[in-house]
Structure 1
Amino acid sequence: MDDSAARLSVHDFSKTDVGLLQSKELNQYILETNVYPREPEPLKEIRNATASQPWNFMITAPDGGALMALLLKLINAKKTIEIGVYTGYSLLLTALSIPDDGKIVAIDIDREAYEVGLPIIQKAGVEHKIDFIESQAIPILDKLLEDPKKEGSFDYAFVDADKANYLNYHERLMKLVRIGGLIVFDNTLWLGTVAWASDSLLDDRMKLIRHHMLKINKFLAEDARVQLSQVPVGDGLTICRRLY
């Protein structure tokens, strides 16, 4: 057997339903008891619409989404940034959670994926809150920072995009998000592989992303500018509260 054939890829992991808990039964208990009964109908619709997409595992985990919706309410978020939209599950939950006059700057390179969920977003009556920008994120963040009035003007940011740029996003968001605001990073436990002693069973893409997650996790743990909590929901959420 060729050694590369035994390596684990993103698609291999996407077929599992045990989550980070490594227990199918406990994962299902949490979803069926706490998450699905309270999940708004538009989010169910967008989750179902995404299921037929070839990269459907990229959707925000619904248990992670429930936590993010709670965070948005707790800080009374009104102005937010989202880097990495895909079909719009996390974008829709944010739009449902902020006030009617709230605004989201949503950045993604793939408008086609966004349009999978767009009819559901429109039906939910929250499209007016969203400024979708089809672009790489760093040029947009840099453009926002050219306006001094934009610094410290956002309440919340969610990052679920190219992992190689997580650190670059963090530095820019630390200027755009207000003191006391939140920056939330997705996939920071990377299917549990960040705790593995060796990456020999991973394919090249999995290895590379694991490397980036280890790097950002170490950096955030040492960043005195944030209060930090890494939560084992979904694929791992790291919640950063800007201190200064």
Structure 2
Amino acid sequence: MANLPLATSQTAKNVELTPAVHAYLLAQAEPPTAVQRDLIARTQTLGGPAEMQIPHEQAVFLTLIGKLIGARHIVEVGTFTGYSTLALALGLVPGGTVTTFDVSEEWTRIAQDAWRAAGVADRIDLRLGPAAEHLRALPQLPWVDLVFIDADKPGYSTYWQELVPRVRPGGLLLADNVLYAGEAADQDATGNASAIRAFNTIVRDDPRVESVLLPIADGLTLARKREP
């Protein structure tokens, strides 16, 4: 029994996420503000790309995590229309800043409108351009409290390697879409799913952190930087 995978050696306690159960789950989260509702609606007008917006319950989780650790310095890779950035900004301590990276002026204009409406624009430092280049330019010392990665999937591993050294001991790193609609569990995964599968292995084997993969939305990695 000791050599069996954990999934077969313990009783499974996962719950089937039926529409009724999902609706109940959503009802337990703090409801979206008027600004958040407007941002959801505006993002939906983009059509297909709108699926990149994180669900509201995940936004509530991001805000709560920031508050729990007293986050002052947050780095986000992948802004899109700014829903996650807004959630992160709401979790900052007074005087804190979210530094967020994206490549789209069109999508981030929508984000900036929402940030101004929510009164958090002064807490957000938006930087446009290739994220890897911007990350390399950040101070090379452990000053970041919280990281959220939600961008191009092949870039995850690069972003991780740039950010882990810059996270303070006890700081957190979050990565979204780490189940990739379940495709990351396939040993023969291709494309983005293959990139996510490789990233998950890097995180699991990284001695600098302790981590867990949570079944929130499309899968969310939560990792804590170990003490030196």
Q: Same fold (TM over 0.5)?
A: yes
Which position in structure 1 is the counterpart of 2:9?
Answer: none
Return the alpha-carbon distance in structure 1 between the equivalents of residues 36 and 199 of structure 2.
29
Pair 1:234 & 2:217 matched: yes
Q: How big is the shift at 1:103? A: 0.8
Aligned partner of 2:7 in structure 1 is none
Gaps of 5+ in 1: 1-19, 200-206
Q: In structure 1, how many angstroms separate the alpha carbons of the residues matched to 2:134 and 2:52?
A: 22
Q: Which amino acid aligns with 1:124?
A: A
- Superposed displacement of residue 242, structure 1: 0.5
SS in 1 for 2:28: helix
Which of 114, 118, 123 in structure 2 is aligned with 1:124? Answer: 118
2:177–2:220 contact (8 Å) kept in structure 1: yes
Q: Of 222, 228, 233, which residue of structure 1 is paired with 2:205?
A: 222
Higher fraction of helix: 1
1:91 to partner: Cα distance: 0.3
Aligned residues: 212
1:184 aligned residue = 174
Q: Is residue 39 of structure 1 aligned with residue 22 of structure 2?
A: no
Percent identical residues: 27
Aligned to 2:76: 82
Aligned AA (1:125): G
User: Matched residues in 1 for 2:150 and 2:218: separation?
Assistant: 11
CA distance in 2, matches of 1:41, 1:75: 26
Query: Higher RCO, 1 or 2 (CA under 8 Å, sep at least 6)?
Result: 1
2:213 is paired with a residue of what secondary structure? strand
Q: CA deviation at 1:65?
A: 1.6
TM-fit CA distance, 1:21: 5.2
Match runs of 1:159-178 below 5 Å: 159-178=149-168
CA distance in 1, matches of 2:214, 2:31: 20
What amino acid maps onto 1:215 in structure 2?
A: A
Which one of 198, 204, 209 corresponds to residue 192 of structure 2? 209
Match of residue 67, structure 1, among 61, 64, 67: 61
State the shift of 1:198 in Å: 5.4
- State the secondary structure of the residue aligned to 1:170: helix
CA distance in structure 2 between the partners assigned to 1:90 and 1:182 by the alignment? 16
Cα distance in 1, alignment partners of residues 98 and 16 from structure 2: 32
The aligned counterpart of 2:25 is 30
Note closer, same or farther for the CA distance 1:129–1:21 as it changes in structure 2 (3 Å cut): farther
Listed as ranges, the gaps of 5+ residues in structure 2 are: 1-14
User: For the residues of structure 1 that align with 2:61 and 2:196, how far apart are their CA atoms?
Assistant: 21
1:197 shift after superposition: 6.2
> Is it true that 1:58 corresponds to 2:52 in the alignment?
yes
> Secondary structure of 1:38's partner?
coil
